[in-house]
Amino acid sequence: MSCANWKNKHKMNILINDGLSQDAIAHLENNHFKVFQTSVAQSQLLKYLNEQEIHILVVRSATKVDSTIIKEAKYLKAVARAGVGLDNIDLDAAQTHQIKVINTPTASAKAVAELTIAHLLTGVRHLQDSNRSMPLEGESRFKELKKSYSSAKELEGKTLGIIGFGVIGQETAKKAIGLGMRVLYHDIAQTKVTLKLEFYDGQEIEFNLINVSKKHLLEQSDYISLHIPSQEEYLLGEKEFNMMKKGAGLINTARGNAVDEIALINALNTDQLAFAGLDVFESEPNPEVALLMHPQISLSPHIGGSTKEAQTRIGMDLAEQLIKTFKSQH
Write the CA distances from 325 to 10, 57, 78, integer angstroms.
16, 14, 10
| Whole-angstrom distance, CA of residue 1 vs CA of residue 4 | 10
Alpha-carbon torsion angle 111, 115, 121, 127, nearest 10? 140
The count of other CB atoms within 10 Å of the CB of residue 51 is 9
Q: Compute and round to an integer the Cα radius of gyration of the chain.
A: 22
Catalytic residue among 29, 284, 288, 320: 284
Task: Assign 130 to helix, strand or coil.
Answer: helix
Catalytic residue among 255, 261, 294, 313: 255
284 a catalytic residue: yes
Taking alpha carbons only, the member of 200, 246, 201, 244 closest to residue 225 is: 244
| Whole-angstrom distance, CA of residue 272 vs CA of residue 264 | 9
Catalytic residue among 186, 227, 302, 313: 302
Which residues form the catalytic set? 255, 284, 302
